[in-house]
């Protein structure tokens, strides 16, 4: 039975994926995360080995590697689901700190994991799966800048890595999910309230924007569809370069419009109170 390493195991979607992988009975799973209580619960599942790991700390990753090596010298896959989201201005508050946090976790954490375990993936004939986001390819939305920056960077990292190691026989696959209701929802809402309470520029704009944001944060996407997509990316003999799942129809439609048109649409949305009331 092959081994795989899964980061972000203690997130809402990560837990669902770990349970699905355990249910297949095909993998021994190193479930990496930071929440000790949730790791203990995951450790009760069949073939799941909890691994408390901070992906932003190389020493923590070195320690994780030693534990992995006590079980196996090769990996069939590394799946990077660890990530954080935010709601933040780009000109007010601790915006630089927020950008740095998003990049440190969403981009550099993934890069550290892949660098630390790449030789084990190569020896095992394995593959790398990086979880990006619809924000990684869609036109950036206001107050989503720090998160979008990190996901755009992750997309570039993923594509460059894929082209670098394809001759070594290591597939690098990205998953680009839309929004799913998890604990990240609370993080975004908390960020909104904090930004609203501290802003000197955007109070009127944010008050108009809130109903639209709440609508977008209440998706009807079924998380099981994302889990099924991950399993296809993991098990396919000829995996796709990318898998998109759960993208909102309105946001996808907006992508075909020129940038100036999109700017105008955002201006109209945020000015039109009648439209706002109809959407609630």
Parent domain of 82: 2-184+219-248
Number of independent structural domains in the chain: 1
Q: Which of 226, 213, 151, 208 is nearest to 185 (CA)?
A: 213
Q: What is the CA radius of gyration of the chain?
A: 20
Q: How far apart are CA 139 and CA 159, in angstroms?
A: 18
* Residues 210-220: tens digit of each pLDDT: 777 776 666 66
Q: Which residue has the tokens 């990530």?
A: 83
277 close to 215: Cβ distance less than 8 angstroms: no
**Would residue 206 count as lying in a domain?**
no
Q: How far apart are CA 280 and CA 35, in angstroms?
A: 36
2 close to 76: Cβ distance less than 8 angstroms: yes
3-state secondary structure of 44: coil
82 close to 55: Cβ distance less than 8 angstroms: yes
Checking 38-44 for CB contacts under 8 A at 24+ apart, the result is 38/9, 38/10, 39/9, 39/10, 42/9, 42/10, 42/15, 42/18
122 close to 67: Cβ distance less than 8 angstroms: no
**Would residue 180 count as lying in a domain?**
yes
Residue 41: CATH number of its domain: 3.40.50.720
pTM: 0.89
**Would residue 259 count as lying in a domain?**
no
**Would residue 261 count as lying in a domain?**
no
**Would residue 157 count as lying in a domain?**
yes
Tens-binned pLDDT, residue by residue, of the chain (280 aa): 899 999 999 987 999 999 999 999 999 999 999 999 999 999 999 999 999 999 999 999 999 999 999 999 999 999 999 999 989 999 999 999 999 999 999 999 999 999 999 999 999 999 999 999 988 898 888 899 999 999 999 999 999 999 999 999 999 999 999 877 776 777 888 888 888 888 888 888 888 877 777 766 666 678 899 999 999 999 999 999 999 998 766 677 777 888 888 888 778 766 644 434 444 3
Burial class (CB in 10 A: 0-12, 13-18, 19+), 86: buried
Q: Which two tokens stand for residue 95?
A: 């915006």
**Would residue 178 count as lying in a domain?**
yes
**Cα pseudo-dihedral 87, 115, 169, 6, rounded to 10:** -60
* Residues 126-172: tens digit of each pLDDT: 999 999 998 889 888 889 999 999 999 999 999 999 999 999 999 99
**Would residue 166 count as lying in a domain?**
yes
**Would residue 202 count as lying in a domain?**
no
276 close to 211: Cβ distance less than 8 angstroms: yes
Give the CB-side neighbour count of residue 262, counting CA atoms within 13 A. 15
Q: Which of 56, 46, 62, 55 is nearest to 79 (CA)?
A: 55
Q: How far apart are CA 54 and CA 32, in angstroms?
A: 8
């Amino acid at each position: 039975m092959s081994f795989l390493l899964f980061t972000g195991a203690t997130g809402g979607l990560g837990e669902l994926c770990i349970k699905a992988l355990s249910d297949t009975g095909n993998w021994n799973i190193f479930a990496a995360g930071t929440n000790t209580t949730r790791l203990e619960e995951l450790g009760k599942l069949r073939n799941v080995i909890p691994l408390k790991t901070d992906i932003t700390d190389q020493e923590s990753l070195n320690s994780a590697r030693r534990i992995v090596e006590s079980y196996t010298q090769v990996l069939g896959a590394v799946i990077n689901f660890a990530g954080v989201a935010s709601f933040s201005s780009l000109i007010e508050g601790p915006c630089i700190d927020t950008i740095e946090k998003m990049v440190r976790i969403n981009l550099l954490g993934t890069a550290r994991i892949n660098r630390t375990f790449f030789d084990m993936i190569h020896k095992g004939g394995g593959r790398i799966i990086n979880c990006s986001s619809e924000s990684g390819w869609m036109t950036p939305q206001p107050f989503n800048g720090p998160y979008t920056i990190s996901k755009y960077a992750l997309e570039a990292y993923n594509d460059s890595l894929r082209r670098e190691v394809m001759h070594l026989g290591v597939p690098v696959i990205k998953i680009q999910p839309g929004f799913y209701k998890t604990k990240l929802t609370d993080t975004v809402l908390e960020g909104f309230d904090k930004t609203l309470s501290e802003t000197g520029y955007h109070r009127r704009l944010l008050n108009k924007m809130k109903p639209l944001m709440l609508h977008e944060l209440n998706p009807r996407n079924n998380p099981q569809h994302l889990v099924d997509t991950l399993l296809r990316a993991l098990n396919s003999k000829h995996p796709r370069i990318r898998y998109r799942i759960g993208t909102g129809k309105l946001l996808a439609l907006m992508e075909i419009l020129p940038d100036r048109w999109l700017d105008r649409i955002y201006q109209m949305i945020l000015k039109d109170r009648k439209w706002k009331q109809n959407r609630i």
